[in-house]
Structure 1
C-alpha cells in the first residue's frame, strides 16, 4: 500500500527544476570558493611583501634616527666650539685695542715692542677668525645634512603610513571574502539539509507502520532480524524486499541531488555484546562489518552508485540499550542508515 501511494505521488516530477536551480547555486558557490582562494593567495603574497617592506622601512628609520642623533651631537659640539672661539676672539680684540692705546701713549721708547706685540695679536686674531669661519661653515653643512635627513625621515614615515593603510585594506577585503564564503557555505548546508529532509520523508512513507524500524535522530534503525538470521550476514528474502523499496528511494534521490554535493548513504552494522566465535566471523567486528557490506552490495546490485555508499561495522561498542536482557540484545542488533556528507 505504501509503495503504491508513493508511486502515485510521483505523478508530477518536480525534481528537474530543483536540479537546475541547485546546479546554478552550486556553480555560484564553486565560483565564490575559487575567487576566494585566488584572492586570498594574492593578498597573502601582498601582505607578506608589505611586511618585508615595513621591516625594511623601520630599520632605515632607526638608522636615520641614530644618524640624526649623531649629527645633532656634532652640531652641538661645533656650536660650543664656535662660542668659545668667539669669546676668545673678543678677548683678543680687547687686548689689541688696549695695546693700541699703550702705543699711542708711549709713542716713544716702547713703540717698537708694542708694534711687534700688536702684530702678533693681529696675526692671532686673523687665525681665530679663520677658525671661526671654518667652524661656521661646518655648522652650516651640518644644518643642511640635518634638514636632508629630516626630509628623508618624513618620506619614510609617509611610505610607512601608506603601507599600513594598504595592509588594513587587505585585511578588510579578506574579512569580507570570508564572510561571503561563510554565507555561501551556509546556503549549501541548508540545501543538503533540505534533501536529507526529503529523503527522510520518502523513507517514512515506505516504512510506515513497521514496528521493527525506528527513527533515532538523523538515522533510520532496522532490527537485524529484518535482514539476517542470527549469527549470519546473508540477506534473507524478506530483507531483500525491504531493500528493494529503499533502493528505489535512493535512486530517485541520487538523480535529484547534483553530483557536486559530496553526499553518501552510510550503512552501519551493530551487534549485541554477546561474543561470537565462528570460522566465518571470529568476532562481532567481522559480523557487523559483513552485514553492512551485504546491504551495500545489494544496493549496488540495484543500481545505486558505489561512490554514494559507505559500509561500517561497529561491533557491540555502540549499544542503544546498556541492559543485559533479551529485549536490550534485540534492540542493539541493528542496521542503521544515515544520509551524510563524505
Structure 2
C-alpha cells in the first residue's frame, strides 16, 4: 500500500517539469521566428533601397553619356567649321597670288604695248615731220602725199586710242586687285582675331588650372612650380627603376584629376587644348630586362600617368605623354640632390 502511494506521488510530480520544458522550448521557437521575420524585413528594405540607388545611378550615367555625346558632336562640328575657314583662307590666298601674277603679267604686257605704241607714234611723228618738211620745201603736195599724211594721222589717232584703252584696262585691273587684297586682309584680320580670342580663352583656363592646382599641392614640399609647369618628383609616384604608380602617387594624381575635370567642364569644346605629361630621368643610365634605356623608362612613366588620369575620367584625346630621358635636366651636377631633382614628371596645360 505504501509502495503504491509512492509510485502515484512520483508520477504526479514529473508533469510540471515537462510543462516548463515545453514552455521554454515554445518561447525559444517564437523568439527565433521573431528574429527571422525582423531580419527578413530589414534585408528586404536594404535590397529595395539598393535597387533604387542603382536605378538612379544608371539614369545619371545615361544622362552623362548623352551629354558627352552632344559635346563631342559640337566639338566635331566646330572643328569642321575651323577646317573650312582655313581652307577658304588658303583658297583666298592662292587666288590673291594668282591675281597678283596676272596683274604683273598684264602690267608688263601693257607697258610693252605702250612702249611699242609710243615708238610707233614717234616714228610716225618723225615721218610726218619729215613729210611736212618736204612739203614746205617743195611747196606743192601731190594727192598721194596728202593721202599718206592723212593715213599716218589716222594711224597715230588709232594708236593713241589703243593706248588709252590699255591704260583704262590696267587701272580697272588694279582696282580689282586692290579690292581682292582688301578682302584678303579683312579675312586675315578676322581669322587672326578669332585665333587670338581662342588663345586668350585657353590662357584664362590655364591660369585657373595653375592657380587651383598650386593651392591644392602647395602643402606638398616635394612638388615644385617652374614657369607654367608643375614638377612632381618620380619618387613621389614610382619606385626606383619602376613605371608602376604607388599609392601615394595615386593620391596626388587624384587631386590633379579632380581639378582638371572641373576645369574641363568650363573649357569650350572648340578650344584645342591638351595636358602634356613629360617624363624625365637622371643621367645615370639604366639597362634592365624591362627598360633598356632612360628613354623607355621616362616614356613608360609618362604613359602610366596618362592611363591613370584616363581611368579617373580625364578625356584621353586631351592628353599627351612624352619621354625625354636624361637630356633636359633642371639641375646640373651629379650630386644626390641634383639627380633627385632631375627625376621628375612635368605637367603643363597648353594648346595642341
Match 1:254 to one of 242, 261, 264: 264
**Count of aligned pairs:** 277
Does structure 1 residue 54 correspond to structure 2 residue 107? yes
SS of the residue corresponding to residue 212 of structure 1 reads: coil
Q: SS of the residue aligned with 2:128?
A: helix
**2:79 is aligned with 1:69:** no
Moved more, 75-84 or 312-321: 75-84
Structure 1 residue 300 corresponds to structure 2 residue 310: yes
Instruction: Choose between structure 1 and 2 for higher RCO, CA contacts under 8 A separated by at least 6 residues.
Output: 1
Q: TM-score, normalised by structure 1?
A: 0.73
The whole-number CA distance in structure 1 between the counterparts of 2:86 and 2:241 is 49
How many angstroms does 1:329 deviate by?
0.9
Equivalent position of 2:325 in the other structure: 315
The answer for the alignment partner of 1:220 in structure 2 is: 230
1:134 to 144, 148, 154: 144
Task: Give the CA deviation at 1:35.
Answer: 6.3
Instruction: Provide the residue aligned with 1:237 in structure 2.
Output: 247
For residues 225 and 278 of structure 2, the distance between their equivalents in structure 1, rounded to whole angstroms, comes to 14
After superposition, the C-alpha distances for 1:131-181 in whole angstroms (9 at most, x for unaligned) are x23112211221121122112212222322332233334333433333333
Q: Which moved more, 1:47-56 or 1:157-166?
A: 47-56
Tell me the SS of whatever aligns to 2:250.
helix
Structure 2 gaps of 5+ residues are 1-66
Between the aligned partners of 1:254 and 1:263, the Cα distance in structure 2 is: 10
Q: How far does the alpha carbon of each residue in 1:229-284 deviate from its partner, in whole angstroms, 9 at most, with x for none?
A: 11111111211122122222222222221222111101011111111121111111
Q: Which moved more, 1:233-242 or 1:246-255?
A: 246-255
Q: State the alpha-carbon separation in 1 of the partners of residues 295 and 98 from structure 2.
A: 50
| 1:225 Cα deviation from its structure 2 partner | 0.7
Within a 5 Å distance, the mapping from 1:166-181 to structure 2 comes to 166-181=176-191
1:57 to partner: Cα distance: 2.4
Q: 1:32 to 1:289 in 2, by over 3 A?
A: closer
- Give 1:208 deviation, angstroms: 2.8
- Mapping of residues 109-120 of structure 1, within 5 Å: none
Distance 2:151 2:320 in 1: 83
Instruction: Describe the SS at the equivalent of 2:326.
Output: coil
Please give the residue correspondences for 1:182-193 in structure 2 after superposition, counting only pairs within 5 Å: 182-193=192-203
* Residue 209 (1) aligns with residue 262 (2): no
Q: CA deviation at 1:187?
A: 1.8
- The 2-side partners of 1:252 and 1:338 are apart by 16
**C-alpha displacement of 1:307:** 1.0
Query: What is residue 338 of structure 1 aligned with on the other side?
Result: 348
Where do 5+ consecutive residues of structure 1 fail to align? 1-15, 90-128
Partner residue in 1 for 2:40: none
Offset at 1:41?
A: 4.8
RMSD: 2.7
* Residues in 1 aligned to 2:265 and 2:113: alpha-carbon distance in whole angstroms: 65
Q: For residues 194 and 269 of structure 2, what CA distance do their matches in structure 1 show?
A: 18
Q: Please state how far the C-alpha of 1:212 moved relative to its aligned partner.
A: 0.8
CA contact (8 A) 1:233 1:291 kept: yes
Alignment match of 1:263 (pick from 248, 267, 273)? 273
Question: C-alpha separation between the residues in 2 aligned to 1:244 and 1:299?
Answer: 8
Question: What does the per-residue CA deviation read over 1:293-329, in whole Å, with 9 as the maximum and x for residues that have no partner?
Answer: 1111111222222211111111111111102211111
